[in-house]
Amino acid sequence: MKVLVIGSGGREHALAWALKNSPAVEELYCAPGNAGIAEVAQCVSIEVSELDKLADFAQENKIDLTVVGPEAPLCAGVVDVFRARGLTVFGPDKQAAMLEGSKDFAKEFMIKYGIPTAKGCACTDAASAREYIKKEFAAGAKGIVVKADGLAAGKGVLVALSEAEAVAFSDQCFDGEFGSAGAKVVIEEMLTGEEASIFALCDGKSIVALAPSQDHKRIFDNDAGPNTGGMGAYSPAPVVNDIVSKRIEEKVLKPFLKGVQAENLHFRGVIFVGLMIENDEPKVLEFNVRFGDPETQPVMRRFVGDLADVLYKTATCDLANARIAWRDEPAVSVVIASAGYPGKYEKGKVISGLDKAAATGAVVFHAGTAFKDGAIVSAGGRVLGVSALGKDIADAIANAYKGVAEISFDGAYYRKDIGAKALKKR
Ligand code: AMP
Ligand code: GLY
């Protein structure tokens, strides 16, 4: 098989790394890729927004399977462009990608198909949003969550603990802070509990959950500071015990598939369910229509099988015949970011110690990296994800940090407590 991966982050590196280990793959390409992906795939300099150029490339190079990494091209309709040309592509089409592209659309879908989620409402003007927020706090709410409806690169959600904070953020959305993504705002009840990420492959006929994982969204240790794209992850997630697993299957995944079928959505890809779990009851915080990052890194470290075959079968409605298994060993991935992230940060810092990190047995996935004057330099907020397996979670954590210790660049920052939550649960 000739396979093309679209994207340039740690998620795409982890997918490309697993695809490279796939017996079915003869040639592997990535557009645009990064300095680490270049070690396992041929990087092609086409941006993820250049949908026609991507399809031209796939056609000219007789690509058998294209795997789309990020949400932006999915929401822009890359799958529709590929399908119109008869190309096989892993991902939902533009309409189905609304499950991530519009929080209101997702909420309506969840309500219609009985999927447990926070109660809330969608507002299209600042005054009605203010009124709803006021009413909720007056009724005794300890907090409320305000979400820009559209894609806002992870910045469009605020968990507000006061009415003033909630109103200020909602006003900001309507004032155009997130462009058209904030023209509508979803306001919902603040849920408590522990979060987990579930990826499930869906080909429209069946749905199969992959190994659960857990992200660390906040920038600082002990979950302090602002939200980021994710500072580290581990798999499996002990909070997803057997009871929770069954409930996710029955209350979330089966109704999801039913909804996809009833609404006639073209969904042949991965649904990433962000969950809040309390007293073993899962509730959906959000849907994403792509793999999560960094969660994909530990999940791919544990994947056993032929990933290209599995994704191809998902894209061609044959998921029921795919073989998926997992290593028993847990995996941990620690993100190393640029100083200042998720705010302003500098790029172009020379990275050293990558070989030494690899010699520890860790696999270093690249997120924001590039080549410059023969060196590998930082080129984004999240720069690397250092991942390792271990005989238990404590061992996996120790192994990942052994790899991290070898790497340095000016301003390198990482959390010291990735996986600690899982440790407490043993
Ligand atoms: P989302 O993009 O909707 O997942 O929101 C980003 C983050 O905000 C989530 O990972 C949670 O940490 C938090 N969040 C979202 N919705 C809620 C909610 N209803 N209650 C509590 N926290 C939430
Ligand atoms: N790590 C969360 C996400 O990929 O959206």
Residue 12 Cβ < 6 Å to ligand 2 = no
Q: Whose CA is nearest to atom 4 of ligand 2?
A: 292
More confident residue, 225 or 424: 225
Q: Report which bound ligand comes closest to the CA of 367.
A: 2
Q: Which ligand is nearest to the CA of 161?
A: 1
Ligand number, closest to the Cα atom of 295: 2
Q: Is the pLDDT of residue 230 over 80?
A: yes
Name 123's bridge partners: 185
State the ligand closest to the CA atom of 218: 1
pLDDT score for 422: 87
Which residue of 159, 190, 278 sits with most ligand 1 atoms within 8 Å of its CB, as the best mutation to test the pocket? 159
pLDDT at 396 over 80: yes
| Alpha-carbon gap, residue 73 to 10, rounded angstroms | 17
Q: Is the peptide bond before 73 cis (omega within 30 degrees of 0)?
A: no
d(CA 288, CA 96) in angstroms, rounded, equals 11
For ligand 1, atom 15, the nearest C-alpha belongs to 285
pLDDT at 189: 96
C-beta of residue 367 within 8 angstroms of C-beta of residue 337: no
Distance CA 168, CA 187 (A): 13
Q: Which residue's C-alpha comes closest to atom 6 of ligand 1?
A: 157
Supply the pLDDT for residue 316.
98
- The string of pLDDT tens digits covering residues 241-294 is 999 999 999 999 999 999 999 999 999 999 999 999 999 999 999 999 999 999
Cis status, amide bond into 294, omega within 30 of 0: yes
Average pLDDT across the chain, whole number: 96
* Residue with CA nearest ligand 2 atom 5: 292
User: Rounded distance, CA 313 to CA 380, Å?
Assistant: 33
Tell me how far the alpha carbon of residue 89 is from its chain's centroid. 18
170-174, 260-264, 306-310, 410-414, range with the lowest pLDDT: 170-174
The reply to whether ligand 1 has any atom less than 6 angstroms from the CB of 190 is yes
Any ligand 2 atom below 6 A from CB of 298:
no
The pLDDT tens digits of the residues spanning 336-351 come to 999 999 999 999 999 9
Atom 11, ligand 1: which residue's CA is nearest?
Answer: 285
The model carries a pTM of 0.96
Shortest-distance ligand to the CA of residue 287: 1
CA proximity to 37, closest of 389, 368, 374, 403: 368
pLDDT tens-digit profile of 179-206? 889 889 999 999 999 999 999 999 999 9
pLDDT tier at 144 (50, 70, 90 boundaries)? Answer: very high
Highest-pLDDT range among 153-167, 218-232, 393-407: 393-407
- CA 130 to mean position of chain CA atoms: 31
Distance CA 202, CA 270 (A): 6
What is the number of the ligand 2 atom nearest to the C-alpha of 292?
4
Residue 165: how many CB atoms within 10 A of its CB?
16
| Assigned token pair, 297 | 């890194």
What is the Cα Rg of the chain in Å? Answer: 21
Residue 141 Cβ contacting ligand 1 at under 6 Å:
no
pLDDT of residue 425: 65
Atom of ligand 2 nearest to the CA of 294: 1
Would you say the CB of residue 288 lies under 6 angstroms from ligand 2? yes
Find all residues with CB under 8 Å of 314, minimum gap 6, and list them. Answer: 90, 201, 202, 203, 268, 269, 270, 322
Nearest residue (CA) to ligand 1, atom 16: 285
Q: Answer yes or no: is the C-beta of 286 below 6 A from any ligand 2 atom.
A: no
Quick check: CB of 215 below 6 Å from ligand 2?
Answer: yes
Kindly tell me if the per-residue pLDDT of 154 is higher than 80. no
Name the residue of 214, 276, 283, 421 to mutate for ligand 1: max ligand atoms within 8 A of Cβ.
Answer: 276
Is any atom of ligand 1 closer than 6 Å to the C-beta of 157? yes
Instruction: Tell me, using a 6 A CB cutoff, whether residue 333 lines ligand 2.
Output: no
Q: How high is the pLDDT of residue 338?
A: 98
pLDDT one-digit tens code per residue, 357-371:
999 999 999 999 999
CA of 292 to the centre of ligand 2 (A): 4
Ligand nearest to the CA of 119: 1
Over residues 79-127, the pLDDT tens digits come to 999 999 999 999 999 999 999 999 999 999 999 999 999 999 999 999 9
295 in ligand 2 pocket by Cβ < 6 Å?
yes
CA distances to 112, 205, 311, 325 from 208, rounded to whole Å, are 22, 10, 12, 12
Ligand 1 centroid distance, CA of 364 (Å): 28
